[in-house]
A and B are shown apart, each in its own frame.
Chain A
Amino acid sequence: MMQSDNHQQESFVCVDQVKLFGSWASSYTHRAQLALKLKGVEFEYVEEELTNKSPQLLLYNPVYKKVPVLLHGDKAVAESVIILQYIDETWSENPILPDNPYERSLVRFWSHFADDQLGPSVGLVFRSTGEQQKAAVEQVNDNLKLLEKEMEEGYFKGRRFFGGDKIGMLDIVLGCGSYWLWVLEEVAGVKLVESGRFPRFHSWLRDFEEQPEVKETIPPTDKLLDYAKSIHLVILLNGDQAQAQAQAENP
Chain B
Amino acid sequence: MGEVKLFGLWLSPYVYRVIWALKLKGIEYEYIEEDLSNKSELLLKYNPVHKKVPVLAHDGKPIAESLVILEYIDETWPENPLLPKDAEQRAAARFWAKFAEDKATCFMTFFRSSGEEQEKARKECLEMLRMVEEYGGLEEKKFFGGDTIGLADLAFGGVACWLGVMEDIVGVKLVEAHTFPRLYAWIHNFNQVGVIKENLPDREKMLVFFKRRREILLASA
A residues near B, CB below 8 A? Answer: 62-63, 72, 75, 77-79, 82-83, 85-86, 89-90, 101-102, 104-105, 108-109, 112-113, 146
Give, as a whole number of angstroms, the nearest-CB distance from A233 to chain B. 30
- Residue in contact with A102 in the complex, picked from B61, B67, B135, CB distance below 8 Å: B61
A112 to B71, CA, bound (A): 14
A173 to B208, CA, bound (A): 43
Q: A63-B135, A102-B72, A146-B49 are in contact. Are A109 and B88 (CB under 8 A)?
A: no
Q: Which of under 10, 10 to 19, 20 to 34, or 35 or more describes the interface residues of B?
A: 20 to 34
Task: Name B72's contact: one of A77, A83, A105 (CB within 8 Å).
Answer: A105
Asked if B87 and A90 sit within 8 Å, CB to CB, the answer is: yes
Query: Which of B48, B65, B75 is A112 in contact with, Cβ under 8 Å?
Result: B65
Taken together as a complex, chains A and B put the C-alpha atoms of A112 and B70 apart, in Å, by: 14
User: Shortest Cβ distance from B150 into chain A, in angstroms?
Assistant: 15
**Among B72, B95, B134, which residue has the most Cβ atoms of chain A within 10 A?**
B95
Q: Contact: B98 with A89, CB < 8 Å?
A: no
Known contacts A105-B69, A112-B68: A79-B95 contact under CB 8 Å: yes
CB pair A85 B68 closer than 8 Å? no
B138 to chain A, nearest CB (A): 14
A-chain residues with CB within 8 Å of residue B87 when the two chains form the complex: 86, 89-90
Inter-subunit contact A101/B95 (CB<8 Å): no
Task: Specify which chain A residues have a CB less than 8 angstroms from the CB of B98 in the assembled complex.
Answer: 79, 82
- Inter-chain contact B131/A82, CB cutoff 8 Å: no
A85 touches B75 (CB 8 A): no
Minimum-distance CB pairs A-B, first 7: A101-B75, A89-B87, A105-B72, A75-B88, A86-B91, A77-B91, A108-B68
Given A72-B88, A90-B87, 20 other A-B residues pairs in contact with their CB atoms under 8 A: A62-B134, A62-B135, A63-B99, A63-B135, A77-B95, A79-B94, A79-B95, A79-B98, A82-B94, A82-B95, A86-B88, A89-B87, A101-B72, A102-B72, A104-B72, A105-B68, A108-B67, A109-B68, A113-B49, A146-B49
